[in-house]
């Protein structure tokens, strides 16, 4: 499934780091940064999360709500948030159902090996729930600048 700008962002319900349900449509009326990343506590994912953390006030002042999503468990998300003092919600997508909606679970290659994994992608969703921007070439250390 290929997503295009202007179309409604696929709605979903999943669990946050504390096991609470998170439904994308509950954020209608706000701009959402929905970022898919491969794995908690890896160098690139930590750099990306910390860039969003360090610029969180700038993002919220611009009206954005930040939601990170990966296949990691709620417990791993709790540890990642605590270790890096992240001020935003992380969503657990262990069954990869949300990844399927956003087409971010794909065949990847690394060091000559092929495997299925999360393709780092950020979706900017406008107040009406439509896709405003899709960032596919994420710069982990400069991600906020790509968003704003």
Give phi and psi for 15, each to the nearest 5: -110, 145
The CA–CA distances, whole Å, from 1 to 8, 11, 22, 56, 101 equal 13, 14, 23, 31, 7
CATH superfamily of the 13-147 domain: Glutaredoxin (3.40.30.10)
Query: What ranges do the domains of the chain cover?
Result: 13-147
Residue 144, pLDDT score: 94
Give the residue numbers marked as catalytic.
Answer: 45
Q: What is the pLDDT of residues 70-112, one digit of tens each?
A: 999 999 999 999 999 999 999 999 999 999 999 999 999 888 9
* 29-40 residue pLDDT tens: 999 999 999 999
Please report the pLDDT score of residue 111 as a whole number: 87
In angstroms, the Cα distances linking 19 to 16, 22, 29, 127 are 5, 9, 24, 25
- pLDDT for 1 beyond 60: no
- Entry pTM: 0.95
Q: Tokens at residue 37, please?
A: 């990343």
């Amino acid at each position: 499934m290929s997503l295009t700008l202007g179309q409604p962002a696929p709605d979903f319900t999943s669990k946050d780091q504390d096991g609470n349900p998170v439904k994308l449509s509950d954020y209608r009326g706000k701009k959402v940064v929905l970022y898919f990343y491969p794995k908690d506590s890896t160098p690139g994912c930590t750099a990306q999360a910390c860039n969003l953390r360090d610029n969180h006030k700038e993002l919220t002042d611009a009206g954005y709500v930040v939601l990170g999503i990966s296949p990691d468990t709620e417990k791993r998300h709790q540890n990642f948030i605590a270790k890096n003092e992240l001020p935003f919600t992380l969503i657990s997508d262990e069954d990869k159902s949300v990844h399927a909606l956003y087409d971010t679970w794909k065949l990847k290659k690394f060091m000559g090996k092929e495997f299925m994994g999360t393709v780092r992608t950020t979706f900017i969703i406008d107040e009406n729930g439509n896709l405003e921007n899709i960032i596919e070439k994420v710069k982990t250390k400069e991600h906020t600048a790509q968003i704003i």
